[in-house]
Chain A
Amino acid sequence: MRLSQLELRNFRNLREVQLTFGPGLTVLFGHNGAGKTNILEALYFTSTLRSFRCSELGPLVLRGARQAAVTVTGRDLQLGLDSKLHVQINRGERSTRRLAQADGKTVRSAVDFYGRLRTIVFTPEDLTILRGSPGDRRKFIDRALFARERIHISDIQAYEKLVRSRNHVLRDDFGGRTPANREQLLDTYEQGLAEVGARIWTRRVDFISAIRNGFQTTYRQISGGKTAAEVRYKSGLGSVGADQREAALRKTLRERRSEDFRRGRTTTGPHRDDLEVLLDDQIAGTFASQGQSRALMLSLKLAELQISQNPAGQAPILLLDDVSSELDPQRSRQLFEALQGLVHQCVVTTTAPHFIPLPATWAAHHFEISDGSVRKVSIGDNPK
């Protein structure tokens, strides 16, 4: 969907706000705490029904208000129709609930709503993907896959349940009883794990090989090309051909049984795999500088964006939170040069507009955010 308008009511600190978007770059500038990131958050929320900042919905509603609402108007290029997405967040006594509507119709399942507005977000917190645990990196791959293949969600859910079930069997967690046929039970869960696990494994490997080229090219563009970046999927089972994965998983689960029994958990499978990001053959999480890490993460996200174009040639909307503060002016310029060819619409936040280098051929709109209100400014009239 191409974004044309965003309306917010009682969303975070934004009481009543309306923004219009054109093609190219939208720059949101203002002081710290003015509410710039809240606008990105609202767009991301309309895309995924979750926030990239917190797991609960409560904080999204303006303090003292009972209800927040986000309305996004855009054009579905594939269908050639205008489309309206509306999400309400209602604060109740016990819990906060959301109600999502697409073109006036209530959409109950989050999976069905997910990705109608497609966004890719980059925030300073994304560095945890490089520096955090393998789980953070798996989450990055899986989120990207959810947006492409929604069936991945149900596979991940089923897989997690199977892992927990097998762990319970390993620990004889049946309220003190030991099931007579534990080996057969383990056989059962291992067969399920291998089947679903192989599908997850293959999707992740395919995703990494699809983004690898774009990742390396984009990293070269942003960094100016002195160091070589690499990305690969690291499975505990090593490199296994796609049609061998189910059998290999099953065999390894079987072999690890006594080891897993001692530890009381399942120690092999896609839930233990990792995404390796390397810079000159060194693990980026421990080796790369702050600026290099920033550039690597941006390259991963931009590579994801490149392969996310749908058949109608629509790329997701790129949301960049405070990106220029982390890159030196040269890298920042190279980033925005690279973006021009990849992105149709990009929304960035910054403390001052001059931090964002405007590429000559890209249209740009500026909004100043202060104390929860938004003002459109023409940057020619208002040099800062």
Chain B
Amino acid sequence: MRLALWFARTDGEYIKALASALDELQVKLSMCSRCCDLCTGEICERCSDARRDQSLVCVVAQPQDRIAFERSGVYRGVYHVLHGVLDPLAGIGPAELKLEALLRRLEGDVVTEVIVATSPNVEGDATALYLSKLLRPLGVKVTRIASGVAVGGELEYADMSTLRRALSDRRSL
């Protein structure tokens, strides 16, 4: 309702532009046939970018997770978007995730490492574990992003689960 009232108060040109943009969204937006990310063509910009390392695949749950990685600018590989995490309580099993497309990508010898970048919670951890069981037999290296104390944060304010994870996932210097 708040949205409708705002539309009613806003200038007509703007509303028209917005309406056609929303219309285009429906028509033009599709899913990349390789990484299942949202895009406007057959293959997304990242999958068709020759400068990117196509042997490194970062698996994320949602397009917004991919956007977060891109914004950071630190990753030069490609992605795979699952569009969800395993959550039997919500009726989401492996069939509901974009796993077949991921397995297809691993058929060739291009991909050497899969980085599982799901959130460090019960569902994200289960998804990561499941992926490692599924992918390891295929001879591909499966890794999990690190979790622990936030960079730039204060150790004293970190919660206990985070500290535990930071300790158990410590690495030698």
Contact partners of B93 in chain A: CB under 8 A: 169, 174, 177, 179, 185
A154 to chain B, nearest CB (A): 5
Contact partners of B95 in chain A: CB under 8 A: 174, 177, 179-180
Contact at B91–A188, with CB atoms within 8 Å?
no
**A309–B95 CA distance with the chains assembled, in angstroms:** 52
Contact at A184–B87, with CB atoms within 8 Å?
no
Contact at B129–A168, with CB atoms within 8 Å?
no
A161 interface residue per 8 A CB criterion: yes
**A164–B88 CA distance with the chains assembled, in angstroms:** 8
Q: Total interface residues on A, using CB and 8 Å?
A: 25
Contact at A192–B126, with CB atoms within 8 Å?
yes
Contact at B91–A185, with CB atoms within 8 Å?
no
Query: A191 contacts which of B92, B94, B129 (Cβ < 8 Å)?
Result: B129
A113 to chain B, nearest CB (A): 14
Interface residues of B in 9-30 (CB under 8 A from A): none
Q: Total interface residues on B, using CB and 8 Å?
A: 20
Interchain Cβ contacts within 8 Å, total number? 61
Q: Classify the interface of chain B: helix, strand, loop or mixed.
A: helix
Which of A158, A165, A192 gathers the greatest number of chain B CB atoms within 10 Å? A165
Contact at A184–B134, with CB atoms within 8 Å?
yes
A193 to chain B, nearest CB (A): 10
A122 interface residue per 8 A CB criterion: no
**A175–B125 CA distance with the chains assembled, in angstroms:** 23
B154 to chain A, nearest CB (A): 16
A261 to chain B, nearest CB (A): 14
**A 177-211 binary contact with B (CB < 8 Å = 1; else 0):** 10111001101110110000000000000000000
Closest residue on chain B to residue A183 by CB atoms:
B133
Contact at B87–A165, with CB atoms within 8 Å?
yes
Contact partners of A174 in chain B: CB under 8 A: 88, 91-93, 95-96
Residue ranges of B at the interface with A (Cβ–Cβ < 8 Å) = 86-89, 91-96, 122, 125-126, 129-130, 133-134, 160-161, 164
Residue ranges of A at the interface with B (Cβ–Cβ < 8 Å) = 150-151, 154, 158, 161-162, 164-166, 168-169, 173-175, 177, 179-181, 184-185, 187-189, 191-192
7 A-B residue pairings within 8 Å (CB atoms):
A161-B89, A168-B89, A174-B88, A177-B95, A181-B94, A188-B133, A192-B125
